[in-house]
């Protein structure tokens, strides 16, 4: 068995996975509030040892642990993936319903047909009914939604709308400049960020065990701003070039294994006969 061939194949597949991930990040470089995904590359030996050490009956694995396929021990493979939730650049728009979160790990809550979802994209607008919605038309939830079951609705005739750092929405009383408090945005800080799962449309599925308790004093809501993607296009392009070159190197190694070495072996056997 040409173990070197399989090792090179695994390495090339790993680089293909990296390129797919990088391409997805680059495709969302201009998506407001997008958080880039990162892959962690491990090797068979480390993963094998970690799994072995976690077995409940370690004494019974002593003899089995003596054998380790060294030809596979350093085969690179994707061992884990995670989302980088670091803050993106805040861009000023001065649009009334553009809202950004200036603190990490905080999210807006929206109501979708599949249930409550979280998002960092605060590009909101009013629909024909005066309800505050996101780009996909999902209702932006107020802090009392779980009790009142009512969305955030504003009168389009209001000429002044302000949103405080805690998400409190205030509008002017008709015919005057006097302000009155309305609904307050639901700002969520998940208990376990690692349990968030991307769903598409820049939405996250929260952990079912998370109570989604609104933050009373967020302190990070910024009206008239949007948070840009945290993808660094230059770094991603460098990583893409690196992954492409590594894939080419692995392909060359596969060619050597299958062509050059086989040809050499056949010629030597033929010469002896």
pLDDT digits 0-9 by tens, 183-198: 999 999 999 898 999 9
Mean pLDDT of all residues in 62-81 = 59
Q: Does residue 10 share a domain with residue 81?
A: yes
Q: Does residue 64 share a domain with residue 151?
A: no
Task: Look at residue 253 in the predicted model and tell me its pLDDT.
Answer: 81
Q: Is the torsion defined by CA of 62, 67, 70, 71 positive or negative? A: negative
Q: Does residue 130 share a domain with residue 206?
A: yes
The count of residues in the chain is 273
**Which two three-digit tokens encode residue 213?**
């308790």
Q: Does residue 204 share a domain with residue 150?
A: yes
How far is Cα 107 from Cα 163, in angstroms, rounded to an integer?
16
Pairing of strands 115-119, 107-112: antiparallel
How far is Cα 235 from Cα 38, in angstroms, rounded to an integer?
12
- On the question of pLDDT at 12 being above 90, the answer is no
Q: Does residue 197 share a domain with residue 98?
A: yes
- On the question of pLDDT at 133 being above 50, the answer is yes
Q: Which residue has the higher pLDDT, 8 or 113?
A: 113
Instruction: Please give the backbone phi and psi of residue 254, each rounded to the nearest 5 degrees, phi first.
Output: -65, -40
Mean pLDDT of all residues in 23-46 = 86
Q: Using the CB atoms, write b or e for 175-208: b if 16+ within 10 Å.
A: eeeeeeebbbbbbbbbeeeeebeeeeebbbbbee
Q: Which of 99-103, 174-178, 208-212 has the lowest mean pLDDT?
A: 174-178
Per-residue HEC secondary structure of 204-259 comes to EECCCCCCCCECCCCCCEEECEEECCCCCHHHHHHHHHHHHHHHHHHHHHHHHHHH
DSSP H or E segment with residue 271: helix 261-272
Q: Does residue 94 share a domain with residue 63?
A: no
Q: Does residue 43 share a domain with residue 110?
A: no
Decide which of 195, 211, 227 is a domain's last residue: 227
List CB contacts of 146: < 8 A, sequence separation 6 or more: 212
Task: Look at residue 206 in the predicted model and tell me its pLDDT.
Answer: 94
Q: How many domains does the chain have?
A: 2
Q: Does residue 100 share a domain with residue 21?
A: no
Average pLDDT over the chain reads: 85
User: Which structural domain, as residue segments, surrounds residue 267?
Assistant: 3-85+231-272
How far is Cα 101 from Cα 108, in angstroms, rounded to an integer?
8
Q: Does residue 209 share a domain with residue 123?
A: yes
**Which two three-digit tokens encode residue 106?**
């905080």
Bridge partners for 228 per DSSP: none
How far is Cα 116 from Cα 135, in angstroms, rounded to an integer?
16
The model's pLDDT over 231-271, given as tens digits with 9 standing for 90+, comes to 999 999 999 999 999 888 888 888 777 776 667 666 767 67
Q: Does residue 191 share a domain with residue 163?
A: yes
Q: Does residue 70 share a domain with residue 37?
A: yes
Q: Does residue 145 share a domain with residue 186?
A: yes
Q: Which residue has the higher pLDDT, 101 or 75?
A: 101
- On the question of pLDDT at 57 being above 50, the answer is no
| pTM tops 0.85, yes or no | no
């Amino acid at each position: 068995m040409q173990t070197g061939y399989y090792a090179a194949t695994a390495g090339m597949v790993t680089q293909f996975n990296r390129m797919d991930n990088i391409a997805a990040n680059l495709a969302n470089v201009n998506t407001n509030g997008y958080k880039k995904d990162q892959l962690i590359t491990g090797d068979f030996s480390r993963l094998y040892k970690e799994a072995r050490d976690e077995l409940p009956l370690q004494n019974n694995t002593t003899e089995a642990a003596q054998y380790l396929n060294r030809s596979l021990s350093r085969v690179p493979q994707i061992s884990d993936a995670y989302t980088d939730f670091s803050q993106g650049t805040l861009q000023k728009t001065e649009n009334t319903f553009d809202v950004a979160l200036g603190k990490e790990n905080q999210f807006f809550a929206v109501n979708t047909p599949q249930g409550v979802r979280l998002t960092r994209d605060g590009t909101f607008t009013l629909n024909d009914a005066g309800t505050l919605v996101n780009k996909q038309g999902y209702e932006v939830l107020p802090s009392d939604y779980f009790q009142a079951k009512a969305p955030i609705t504003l009168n389009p005739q209001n000429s002044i709308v302000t949103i405080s750092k805690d998400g409190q929405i205030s509008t002017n009383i008709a015919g005057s400049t006097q302000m009155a408090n309305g609904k307050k945005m639901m700002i969520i800080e998940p208990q376990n960020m690692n349990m968030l799962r991307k769903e598409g449309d820049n939405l996250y599925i929260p952990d079912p065990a998370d109570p989604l308790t609104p933050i009373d004093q967020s302190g990070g809501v910024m009206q008239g701003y949007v948070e840009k993607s945290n993808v660094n296009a230059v770094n991603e392009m460098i990583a893409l070039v690196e992954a492409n070159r590594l894939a080419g190197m692995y392909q060359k190694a596969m060619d050597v294994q299958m062509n050059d070495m086989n040809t050499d072996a056949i010629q030597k056997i033929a010469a002896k006969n």
